[in-house]
Structure 1
Amino acid sequence: MKASREQGSAASEPADKGPSWLTALITMVAVQMATAFLSRIPPTLAPALAAERGWSDAVVGYLASMNTLGSILFLALGAPFLRRLGSVRSLQGGLVLGILGLALLLPPFSATAAMASLLIGLGYGPSSPAGNDVLHRTAPPRRRAIIFSIKQAGVPLGGIIAGLVLPPIVVAFGWQAALLVSGVFVLAIIIAVQPMRAGLDSGRKRDQALSLGAVFAPANIVSSLAAVTTSPSLVRLASAGACLAVGQGIWFAYLITFAVSVLGYDLKAAGIAFAIMQATSVGGRILLGWLADRYGSPRRMLGLLGLASGLSSLAMAIVGPGWSFPAFCALAAVAGVCVSSWNGVQLSEVARACPPHLVREASAGATLIIFLGYIVAPAAFALLLTLTGRFDIGFLACTAFGFLCCAIMRERPPERPQ
Structure 2
Amino acid sequence: MSGEEAAAAAPATRSPDAFLWVWPLAATLGIQTASSFLLRLIPTIAPVLTASLGLSPEAIGSISSVGTVGSMLFLAIGHPLIRRFGPIRTLQIGLLLGGVGLALLTPPWWAAAYGASLLLGLGYGPSAPAGSDILLRHSPAAHRTLIFSLKQAGVPLGGVLAGLALPWLVGLMDWRAALLVVALLPLATVLLVQPLRERIDVDRDAGQPIGPSVLLSPANMLRPLRLVVSSPPLRGLTLAGCCFAIGQGSLFAFTVTWLVGLGYGLAQAGLVFAVMQATGVFGRVLLGWTSDRLGSGMPTLRFTAVSACATMLALASASAAWPFWALLLLAGVAGVTVSSWNGVHLAEVARHSPQGRVGETTAGATLITFVGYVVGPAGFGLALGALGGYPAAFLGVAAVSLVAFGGLIWSARQG
Secondary structure at 1:351 match in 2: helix
Q: Does 1:97 align with 2:75?
A: no
**1:386, distance to aligned residue in structure 2 (A):** 3.9
User: 1:139-166, CA deviations, whole angstroms, 9 ceiling, x for partnerless residues?
Assistant: 0011010000000000000000000011
Q: Which residue number in structure 1 is paired with residue 3 of structure 2?
A: none
Return 379-388 or 130-139, whichever deviates more: 379-388
| Percent of residue pairs bearing the same amino acid type | 46
CA RMSD, 1 decimal = 1.9
Q: For the residues of structure 2 that align with 1:190 and 1:401, how far apart are their CA atoms? A: 37
Paired positions, count: 408
Q: Which residue number in structure 1 is paired with residue 165 of structure 2?
A: 165
The alignment's TM-score, normalised by the length of structure 1, stands at 0.94
Q: Does 1:67 align with 2:67?
A: yes
Please list every run of 5 or more consecutive structure 1 residues that lacks an aligned counterpart in the other structure.
Answer: 1-6
User: 1:346-387, CA deviations, whole angstroms, 9 ceiling, x for partnerless residues?
Assistant: 000000111231100000000001000000111111122244
| Residues 285 and 342, structure 1, Cα contact 8 Å, conserved in 2 | yes
Secondary structure at 1:355 match in 2: coil
Q: For the residues of structure 2 that align with 1:47 and 1:319, how far apart are their CA atoms? A: 20
User: 1:167-216, CA deviations, whole angstroms, 9 ceiling, x for partnerless residues?
Assistant: 01101112112201110111101110111111111101110111110111
Q: 1:112 to 1:8 in 2, by over 3 A?
A: closer
Q: Which residue number in structure 2 is paired with residue 133 of structure 1?
A: 133
Q: For the residues of structure 1 that align with 2:159 and 2:242, how far apart are their CA atoms? A: 21
Q: For the residues of structure 2 that align with 1:307 and 1:296, how far apart are their CA atoms? A: 20
The alignment's TM-score, normalised by the length of structure 2, stands at 0.95
Q: 1:112 to 1:409 in 2, by over 3 A?
A: same
**1:401, distance to aligned residue in structure 2 (A):** 0.7
Q: Give the aligned residue type for 1:335.
A: A
Q: Does 1:20 align with 2:1?
A: no
Q: 1:208 to 1:310 in 2, by over 3 A?
A: same
Q: Which residue number in structure 2 is paired with residue 243 of structure 1?
A: 243
Q: Which residue number in structure 2 is paired with residue 282 of structure 1?
A: 281
User: 1:374-408, CA deviations, whole angstroms, 9 ceiling, x for partnerless residues?
Assistant: 00111111122244551222211110111111122
| Residues 232 and 411, structure 2, Cα contact 8 Å, conserved in 1 | no
Q: Give the aligned residue type for 1:23.
A: W
Alignment of 1:182-221 (within 5 A): 182-221=182-221
Q: Which residue number in structure 1 is paired with residue 297 of structure 2?
A: 298
Q: Which residue number in structure 2 is paired with residue 178 of structure 1?
A: 178
Q: Give the aligned residue type for 1:29.
A: L
| Residues 52 and 108, structure 2, Cα contact 8 Å, conserved in 1 | no
Q: For the residues of structure 2 that align with 1:8 and 1:68, how far apart are their CA atoms? A: 29
Return 46-55 or 24-33, whichever deviates more: 46-55
Q: Give the aligned residue type for 1:61.
A: G
**1:51, distance to aligned residue in structure 2 (A):** 2.6
Please list every run of 5 or more consecutive structure 2 residues that lacks an aligned counterpart in the other structure.
Answer: 1-5
User: 1:246-303, CA deviations, whole angstroms, 9 ceiling, x for partnerless residues?
Assistant: 1100111011110101x21100000000000000000000000000000124112111
Alignment of 1:7-156 (within 5 A): 9-11=8-10, 19-156=19-156
| Residues 7 and 137, structure 2, Cα contact 8 Å, conserved in 1 | no
Alignment of 1:263-412 (within 5 A): 263-387=262-386, 390-411=389-410
Q: For the residues of structure 2 that align with 1:386 and 1:402, how far apart are their CA atoms? A: 22
| Residues 237 and 411, structure 2, Cα contact 8 Å, conserved in 1 | no
Q: 1:126 to 1:8 in 2, by over 3 A?
A: closer
